[in-house]
Amino acid sequence: MEIREVTDNIAIYSDGKRLQVIHDLGDEFILDLTLGKDYAWNIDRQVQETIKIIKPVFKVSGFCSRGGEGMHSLRWAILQFQIFENYIKDHQADLLDWWQNPGGEDD
């Protein structure tokens, strides 16, 4: 099992089968990763190519009150998600390799 710490509150780990996100932002917040696609133009071959990308996911699954502690928790979770999102963008290639080989086995 490999764990990569994104922040003090968020980490990505592999159980050998898939990548998962663990966090301590609260039970009402869901952070996850999803595999998506983007399109790029290959100048050499003059064709559009589809490339795989990892996208971060943020959801609120519980109740957040509009005042006090609920809003503070939501703001904190959003700030942490922004850091998480930047980490995903900055380490895209490495994370794609890890996604395709979560067990770390050599081909």
Rounded CA separation 79/45 (Å): 41
Map out the domains of the chain as residue ranges: 2-100
For 36-82, the pLDDT digits (tens) are 888 888 888 888 888 889 999 999 886 666 667 778 888 899 999 99
Q: Is the per-residue pLDDT at 107 higher than 60?
A: no
pTM of the model: 0.80
**Number of Cβ within a 10 Å radius of residue 10:** 21
Q: What is the model's pLDDT at position 64?
A: 65
Q: What is the model's pLDDT at position 31?
A: 93
Rounded CA separation 44/5 (Å): 38
Rounded CA separation 63/73 (Å): 11
Rounded CA separation 70/87 (Å): 26
Least confident of 24-33, 53-62, 96-105: 96-105
Q: Check: CB of residue 36 under 8 Å from CB of residue 15.
A: no
